[in-house]
Every structure is written in C-alpha cells, then in structure tokens.
Amino acid sequence: MNTAELGLPVDVPSTALFTDHYELTMLQAALEGGTAGRRSVFEVFTRRLPPGRRYGVVCGTGRVLDAVRNFRFDERQLAFLRERGVVDGATLEWLSRYRFGGDIWGYPEGEVYFPGSPVLRVEGTFAECVLLETVILSILNHDSAIAAAASRMAAAAGDRPLMEMGARRTHELAAVAASRAAYVGGFSSTSDLAAGFRYGIPTIGTSAHAFTLVHDTEREAFTAQVDSLGRGTTLLVDTYDVAEAVALAVEVAGPELGAVRIDSGDLLLVAHRVRQQLDELGAHKTRIVVTSDLDEYAIASLAAAPVDAYGVGTQLVTGSGHPTASMVYKLVARASSDGADAPLEPVAKRSGGGKRTLGGRKWAARRFDAYGVAEAEVIGTGEVPGELAGSQLLVELVRGGEVVGREPLEAARDRHAAARGALPMSATQLSRGEPVLPTEYVA
C-alpha cells in the first residue's frame, strides 16, 4: 500500500540496503561478464506449506510495491559501499542510477496459494531484478506467515471479532507489518497505534493490570476509568478476584458497562461463570473479551463459551509456530543474449537435495467444480487452456517500472475472505493434513 497516495503521512525509507552482500557482488560480476542486461524472469514460490497448514495467504504485496519503488541508492549508501569495498567504482556508478524499470505480476494480496504457486513474477534485466531478491522475500515471507496464522484464527473465531495485540512481542517495525498482515487475514483491529497511523487499521485498548495496581483499591481504578472513558469501556477483571471484580464493575458502571476482559485462568470455565454473573446483575449486553496467550487451537476450544471477542498477541506475530512462509526467489527464464528480441529460455536448478526448480515463465489458474468450490491449482508454462482463461490468478502490479496494481488494504482483506470461502470446507480444519488443493502442472 502506498500510504502517501492514500493520504497518510508515513512512507517507507530507502530500501536499497535491505539486501544481501552477494546480490551486489553478483551484479558486479554480471556487469563485467556481459550478462547484466539479459532479459530475465524471477519467480517467488514455496516448495511446501508449513506442517499442518492447508493453504497459504499472499500478504505484503502492497509493501513490496513500496519497497521496489524506494529501492534507490543515495550518496550515504554509496559511500558506505565504497568504504567497505563491497563493489568497484563502475558498479557504484551503475547503482547510483538504479531504478527498477521492469514488470511485476503476482497473485493479488489476500489470495490463497499452494506449493509451487508463482505468487510473484519479476521481469527485467538480470541486473535490475537480482537486486530485489532479499527485500521481496523478507516482506512476503514475514507478512504471508502472519496472515496465514491470522486466517486460521479468524476461521476458528467465526463471527467473533479478533483484536491484534502483539506489538510488545516482536520487533517494533515488524509489529506494524504484523498488524497489517493480521488485518488482511481477518482481524478487525489492532492495539498498535503505529499500524493505525500508517495503514488506517482501527485501534483498540483501555487499561492493563498496572492501572488497577497503581490505585489503592479496585473500586478507585474502575471509577477513574469509567469517569474518563465512559460506561462503554472495557474493565479488566482478573487483577485480584474475578467474581468480586465483575460485581464491582457493574456496580460502578451500571448495566451499560461495555465489556469485561479476562486475561488469565481457565478461560472456558471463567467465561461461563462471568456470563452467568453478568446476566444475574442485569448486565445482559456487557460483552466478554478474553486474551491470555491465545492461538487458533485455544480460540477453537472456546467456540462454545460465551465469549464475544478475542485478543491475540504472541502466537499471532510469531506465525503461530511458523514465522516464515519459506518462499524463495528463483531465476526461471532468461534470454540467450542481450538483444531485446532474444527469446527467453527456461533455466532450472537440477541438483538433488529437495531444492530442484521448474524452469519457464509460468501462469497460474484455479479450477473450480460445478458448485464454485476450488478443486485444483493449475500451473503451466505454455498456452493457457481456454477453460482456465477466465480464472487466471496473476495480476499486473508494475509495468515498465511504474506501479499499476496498488489498492486499498480493505480490498486485500475482502479478497482473502472470498478466497478462503471458496476453498473446500476442510481448508479450515485445524487437524494436520495436506494442502487442501493439489497443484497440477501442464506444459
């Protein structure tokens, strides 16, 4: 997402050094060897989904577009490379003029993917494309992992809203990206104000245990919060005794109390007891919010509990056990010479060890059954079969170096809900299993 174009004041800095040393040494050697200008096609894909995951979620595409646009070397960065002797003078001169001028196609953000899916395709000269490998992978691997975890949690939560609360459990900048990815995956809000500021995500939050503890009594704490924030606020009721706190909360705020939050204990048992107590006190509309180290399994276990919303932190921002999507960025085709009309030739890694690649510039489409349910991910390198022409997955994102595929974050969020809804019902099962769609390759 381009925050500047959407009217928000925060943009990403230069991403030119968000790369690995060897990208630049490859560039230098290619410039000297005469292959830097060869037209090339790189693709991003994963060989496998994390164990137990039935589908992946494409996320971070908007951030990739910003990163590519801002991949430019300023004088300080060039001076750093010169002082360290990373590359020679001719390469530094080339880098000083660097602007990506190629094309990028990819699965639209929020779409689901499977092993082998070409989620991003980067085309241009070898030199301009090879430099983007690390920054593209760092964004897509992180954001897609968080979005996949968020999607599983959203499926487990059903219609109950999810609040992202993981900023204190990860790097401060990763926390902002995680909030964005969680929103795409189905969360409705975040506690991170930076994410709200940068991406327009709704923000939430009231008080922590420290607010209760700084007062002489729980009554004083509740009274201060209600007087300041209104009766619709959420009171934290597990600092001392939950039952006493719930009674006191309703006494202070009245039956108009917005919600109570439970952050510890046996959440299933406590939620039932609190709901009964609230109803007996006449606070029938007071909601119950639970937090406390939730993941998709804990959320699913609370499906029958009288819980109205979930707050999730650590497990979300760490991908619920899978903090990367294991995507790779591989050269799959290149021209036989520097000539503009030189034909593309497929290239692939052939050695063993489970890291072989499939050469060729690929297209991807999803096949659906008569009921509109997805039944296969189809990938090919030749002509697209006529029956799949209308269900191709890659969309144009960058044309001739200019971004053409930017969209609001809400579009990605809505797309993901639709894409997940079109998968077989077993996609959202939390039990271990293979990818819910097979990947089929056609010539």
Q: Are residues 126 and 249 in the same domain?
A: no
| Residues paired with 123 in a beta bridge | 41, 103
Q: What is the dihedral of CA 406, 113, 188, 404, to 10 degrees?
A: 0
Q: Are residues 222 and 85 in the same domain?
A: no
The predicted pLDDT at position 61 comes to: 98
The predicted pLDDT at position 244 comes to: 98
Q: Are residues 339 and 438 in the same domain?
A: yes
Q: Are residues 167 and 305 in the same domain?
A: yes
Q: How far is residue 41's CA from residue 344's CA, in Å, rounded to a whole number? A: 9
Tell me whether residue 375 is in a domain. yes
Q: Are residues 188 and 309 in the same domain?
A: yes
DSSP 189: E
The predicted pLDDT at position 12 comes to: 59
Domain end call among 296, 318, 340:
318
Tell me whether residue 14 is in a domain. no
Can you give the pLDDT of all 443 residues of the chain as single tens digits? 444 444 444 455 789 999 999 999 999 999 999 999 999 999 999 999 999 899 999 999 999 999 999 999 999 999 999 999 999 999 999 999 999 999 999 999 999 999 999 999 999 999 999 999 999 999 999 999 999 999 999 999 999 999 999 999 999 999 999 999 999 999 999 999 999 999 999 999 999 999 999 999 999 999 999 999 999 999 999 999 999 999 999 999 999 999 999 999 999 999 999 999 999 999 999 999 999 999 999 999 999 999 999 999 999 999 999 999 999 999 999 998 887 788 999 999 887 666 778 899 999 999 999 999 999 999 999 899 999 999 999 999 999 999 999 999 999 999 999 999 999 999 999 988 899 999 999 97
CB 262 within 8 A of CB 235: no
The predicted pLDDT at position 341 comes to: 82
Q: Are residues 118 and 222 in the same domain?
A: no
The predicted pLDDT at position 339 comes to: 79
Tell me whether residue 149 is in a domain. no
Q: Are residues 435 and 388 in the same domain?
A: yes
Q: Are residues 292 and 360 in the same domain?
A: no
Reading the block at residue 315, the tokens are 């497990």
The helix, strand and coil proportions of the chain, stated in percent and rounded to the nearest 5, come to 40, 20, 45
Furthest-apart CA atoms within the chain: distance in Å: 80
Query: pTM for this structure?
Result: 0.94
> Tokens 């003078």 — which residue?
89
Tell me whether residue 224 is in a domain. yes
Q: Are residues 333 and 313 in the same domain?
A: no
CB 42 within 8 A of CB 131: no
Number of domains in the chain: 2
The predicted pLDDT at position 350 comes to: 83
CB 258 within 8 A of CB 234: yes
Report the CATH number that the domain containing residue 313 is assigned in CATH.
3.20.20.70
Tell me whether residue 167 is in a domain. yes
Number of Cβ atoms within 10 Å of the Cβ of 202: 13
Q: Are residues 110 and 169 in the same domain?
A: no
Tell me whether residue 11 is in a domain. no
CB 223 within 8 A of CB 254: no
Domain limits at 243? 162-318
Domain end call among 257, 291, 318:
318
Q: How far is residue 212's CA from residue 66's CA, in Å, rounded to a whole number? A: 42
The predicted pLDDT at position 438 comes to: 96
Q: How far is residue 121's CA from residue 119's CA, in Å, rounded to a whole number? A: 7
Domain end call among 318, 340, 361:
318
Q: Are residues 298 and 282 in the same domain?
A: yes
The predicted pLDDT at position 426 comes to: 95
Q: How far is residue 152's CA from residue 54's CA, in Å, rounded to a whole number? A: 10
The predicted pLDDT at position 234 comes to: 98
The predicted pLDDT at position 5 comes to: 46
Minimal CA–CA distance to 110: which of 68, 146, 74, 134?
146
Rounded to 10 deg, the angle between the 409-421 and 133-157 helix axes is 60
CB 218 within 8 A of CB 212: yes
Q: Are residues 240 and 260 in the same domain?
A: yes
Tell me whether residue 9 is in a domain. no
Q: How far is residue 423's CA from residue 112's CA, in Å, rounded to a whole number? A: 9
Tell me whether residue 262 is in a domain. yes
